[in-house]
Chain A
C-alpha cells in the first residue's frame, strides 16, 4: 500500500511540470501601427495609446455598443448599478477589484478620476463630454453616486465610457502638467486583466496576465504588442511568422490575397465606428461670413448626391469591405438600422434638379454655368489617406459626367487639416471615428458644433431639435433617432460615402479573436487558442 502511494506520488511529481507547461499558452504577438508612449486615460488621443489604456484601465462598466439605457453595459469595476431617481445612478464597486500593485480599487479612485476628467484645464476634451455630470460623490468605500444635470438615456454611457478609472494613491501627488514625464506613464499601474511588464521604445510593449484578476484569469498569459508603422512591414511580420495578429489590413485589399494563400493564417472582418463622407461647405470657400455661392442651395447638394454611384465607388476602393451609409452612421453603431437608405444614383434627375436652379451649359464648354459663373468645386483631401485620394478622383470623374467641374486639392495631412478647419474648401473628403454612442453627431452636424468638428458650418435648427429629442427623450428613443437621421440625410450636408469594415489577419493557432470595434483589445482576456491547436 505504502509502495503504491509512493509510486503515485512519484508519478505525480513527474507529470506535474508537464501539466503546468500544457496550461501555459503560447505568447500572443499583436502588431500595432504606432509606439505606445503614454497609455494613460485622458493623456494622449493617439489611437494606440488609447487602446492600450483601455486594456490596462477598467471603467466602472463596459458599454456594449448595442443599445441604449441602463442595461447597455456589462460590469467592470462596478459589479452593479441602480437608479436612485431619473438623475442619479448609484454604482456598487466590486470589492475584489485591485490595482496591479495590490491596492484595492475604491470610491476615492472614482472621485479622483472624475475630478480630473471634469476639469477643463486638465482634460479639455473629456470635460466637455462630461458636462451633464453635476456631481460625483462617495458613500463609503465601495459606493459611488453620480448625479446628472438632467434626465436622459445616455447617462450610463457618459458615467462609464468617458472616464476609465485612475489610481488616486499613485496619481494624486503628481500634478497634471508633470504627468507626461512621470514614472507612472513609463510603467502604468492599471486595474485590467493584463499588467504592464516593459516597453522597448519604438519596438514593443509586453503585458502579463494578472493571475488573480477578479473577473477571471485571462486565457493567454503573455501578450506582446509589436510596433510597425508601415502596412507592408506589419503584414511581413505576420507572413514571416514573427507576429500572430495584424489588424486594419486597409485598402488596397490585395494584401488579403497574400494571407488567403496561406493555410496557417485566417482573416476576420469586423465593423468599425468610422465613416467617410464628402462634406459640402455651407460657407464660401475661405470666407465663412458668406454663404457658399453654390452649395448653400440644398437642391444643388441633392443633385450632386444623385449624380454619384456610391456603390460602385465603394466596390472600387474597399471591395466588399463596407457599406454605403444613408447618414453619418458607422457600421458598428446601434442606430444604424434606423438610418435612411442611401439615394440610388440618378444622373437624369441630378441634371433636372441643377437645371431647375439655373445651372445649364449655356456656353457649350461641357461645364454647367449660371450667370456666367461655372459650376466649379474644389475637392480637398489628405494625401495620407489612400481611400480618400481614390474617392477624390472618382468623385471628380462622376461629377464631370453631369457637367460639374471638380478640381482636386490633395495635400499632406497637416496642411489639409488647417485648410479644413479654416473652411478653405468646397467639398472636403472627411472621415470620423465616432464614440459608440451616436451623440457625437452633435459636434459634427449641429449649429452648436460650429467652431469645433462642424467645419462645414452646417446648421439646421430642425435637425438640432430632433437630435436633442433623440438624446434626451425618455422611453423608446429609436423613433426619435430615425427621425433625426432622416432629417439630416434629407438636407444633404454631405455625400455619405462609406462605413467600412476592418479586416484582421491572424495565425491559425488562435481561435477567432473578439476584436471590439469601440476599442480593439478590451475582450483580450477571453481570447484563446483554437481547439485542437495544442497550445
Chain B
C-alpha cells in the first residue's frame, strides 16, 4: 500500500512536470493561435487587434500558466479558439469513440499478438515461425494510411461488405441490437487497420521473450522433473509476459491520441484528429486539454505496467 501511494505521488508529480514543460513549449514554439481565425478572411487591423486581445493576450508566460492551472483546478479547461466550445465538452464528446477503437486494438494486440508471438517461439525455426515473422514484419512496416485506404477501397467500395467511414450510420435509429451491430460493422475496418500494423510489434516482443524464457534453467529443471509440456510452457509464458506488459504500458496512450491517421482515413470521431487539429491551429486551450488527457494516460499506463509487473513477479512484491 505504501508502495502504491508513493508510486501515485510520483505519477502525479511526473504529470504536473510534463504539463508545465508542454505548456511552455507550445507557447515558445513558432505559430499563431489566431491563424485559424485570420487565414483567408479579410479582417481590419482593429478586428485583428481585438481578436488577439481575446485569444492571445500579451501576458507573461508564468501568469498564463497560473491562469490555466487555476482553471484546471476548477475543472475548466477553457474554450477552444477554433471550435468555440468548452474544451472539456469537446474532449469528453470524443472520448467514447477513442476508447472503443483503442480498446479494440489493444485487445487484438494483447490476445492475438501475444498468442501468435508465443506460437512463433514454440515453433522456433520451423516454417510457421518464418511465415509469421515475415507477415508481422510486412504488417509492421506498412504505412497505416495506405493500408486503410486499401481496405476501405476493397471492403467498402468494391465489395460493399463494410462501411467505409464514420462510427454509425446516421440514417439508422439509435439504440437496440441493430445499432450495436452497426457500430461493430463500422469498427471493423479502422480496428483491423490499426491492429494489423501494430500487432507485429507485440508478436516480436512476445516471441523474443518466450524464446528467452524457454532457455531459462527453471524450464530445463521442470522438463527434467518430467512435468507435462503444456505446464512447462505455461510457466515459461508467465515469465515471458513481463516485456509485453511494459509494451502494454507504453501503448496505452494509443487509446487516446495514437490513431490520428486511421481516424482520418475512416472519419472515426476520436480524440486523435481533434488533438492534431488543435496542434495545427495552435488552439492552445484545446491542445492543453487533449495533452492533459494524453499525459494522464501515459502516466496511468506506467503505473498499470508497474502494478502488473508486481503481480506477475513475486520477487518485486517481496523486495
Contact = CB atoms under 8 A, between A and B. Distances in A.
Contacts of B82: 44, 46
Interface string A257-271: 000000000000000
A415 B45 CA distance: 20
Given A46-B82, A124-B50, A418 B269 contact: no
A214 B277 CA distance: 39
B281 A433 contact: no
B166 A413 contact: no
B218 interface: no
A431 B39 CA distance: 8
A435 interface: yes
A396 interface: no
B270 to A, nearest CB: 7
Nearest to A417: B35
B234 interface: no
A188 to B, nearest CB: 12
A200 interface: yes
Interface in B256-288: 264-267, 269-270, 273-274, 277, 280-282
Interface in A1-47: 27, 29, 35, 37-38, 43-46
Given A236-B165, A415-B31, A49 B160 contact: no
Nearest to B282: A414
A203 B166 contact: yes
Contact of B32 (A45, A418, A431): A418
B41 A453 contact: yes
A287 interface: no
A236 B153 contact: yes
A443 interface: yes
Contact of B85 (A38, A224, A417, A450): A38
B133 to A, nearest CB: 32
Contacts of B192: none
A452 interface: yes
A206 interface: yes
A202 B48 contact: no
A230 B146 CA distance: 13
Contacts of A29: 170-171
B13 interface: no
Interface in A370-389: 382, 384
Interface stretch (B61-69, B87-95, B103-111, B311-319): B87-95
A240 B46 contact: no
Contact of B170 (A200, A441, A449): A200
A448 interface: yes
A237 B156 CA distance: 9
A203 B94 CA distance: 10
A417 B274 contact: no
B32 A414 contact: yes
Contacts of A75: none
By size class, the interface of chain A is: 35 or more
Of A206, A230, A451, most buried by chain B (CB within 10 Å of CB) is A230
B51 to A, nearest CB: 5
Contacts of A120: 46, 50
A207 to B, nearest CB: 11
A125 B51 contact: yes
Interface residues of B, number: 62
A180 interface: yes
A434 B86 CA distance: 29
Contacts of B165: 226, 228, 233, 236-237, 240, 242
B84 A124 contact: no
Of B36, B37, B90, B164, most buried by chain A (CB within 10 Å of CB) is B164
A443 B44 contact: yes
B264 A233 contact: yes
B84 A417 contact: no
B14 interface: no
B51 A236 contact: no
Contact of A203 (B33, B149, B170): B170
A239 interface: yes
A421 B282 CA distance: 15
Interface string A209-247: 000000000000000101111101100110111100000
B266 A233 contact: yes
A174 to B, nearest CB: 14
A201 B156 contact: no
A228 B190 CA distance: 14
B45 A449 contact: yes
B30 A415 contact: yes
Nearest to A38: B84
A451 B42 CA distance: 11
B170 A43 contact: no
A45 B46 CA distance: 17
B65 to A, nearest CB: 20
A185 B89 CA distance: 12
A418 B30 contact: yes
B282 to A, nearest CB: 5
B153 to A, nearest CB: 7
Contacts of A229: 264, 267, 273, 277
B136 interface: no
Contacts of A240: 156-157, 160, 163-165
A515 B85 CA distance: 28
A224 B40 contact: no
B47 interface: yes
Nearest to A433: B40
Contact of A237 (B44, B153, B167, B267): B267
A168 interface: no
B54 interface: yes
A227 B93 CA distance: 15
Contacts of B50: 120-121, 124
Of A27, A181, A432, most buried by chain B (CB within 10 Å of CB) is A181
Interface in A442-500: 442-444, 448-453
Contacts of B277: 229
B198 interface: no
A370 to B, nearest CB: 32
Given A128-B44, A237-B267, A418-B30, A226 B166 contact: yes
Contacts of B156: 236, 240
B20 to A, nearest CB: 22
Contacts of B270: 202
A421 B166 contact: no
Contacts of A412: 31, 280
B26 to A, nearest CB: 11
Contacts of A185: 84-85
A415 B153 CA distance: 35
Contacts of A417: 31-32, 34-35, 38-39
Given A38-B84, A124-B54, 9 more contacts: A125-B41, A125-B43, A202-B167, A228-B267, A240-B164, A240-B165, A242-B163, A449-B45, A451-B48
The 6 A-B residue pairs whose C-beta atoms are closest, nearest first, are A202-B269, A451-B45, A124-B50, A201-B93, A414-B31, A417-B35
18 contacts: A37-B90, A124-B47, A124-B51, A124-B54, A128-B47, A203-B170, A203-B269, A204-B170, A228-B166, A233-B164, A236-B152, A236-B164, A239-B164, A413-B280, A441-B42, A448-B44, A453-B38, A453-B48
Interface of A: 27, 29, 35, 37-38, 43-46, 49, 120-121, 124-125, 127-128, 180-181, 185, 200-204, 206, 224, 226-230, 232-233, 236-237, 239-242, 274, 382, 384, 412-419, 421, 431-435, 440-444, 448-453
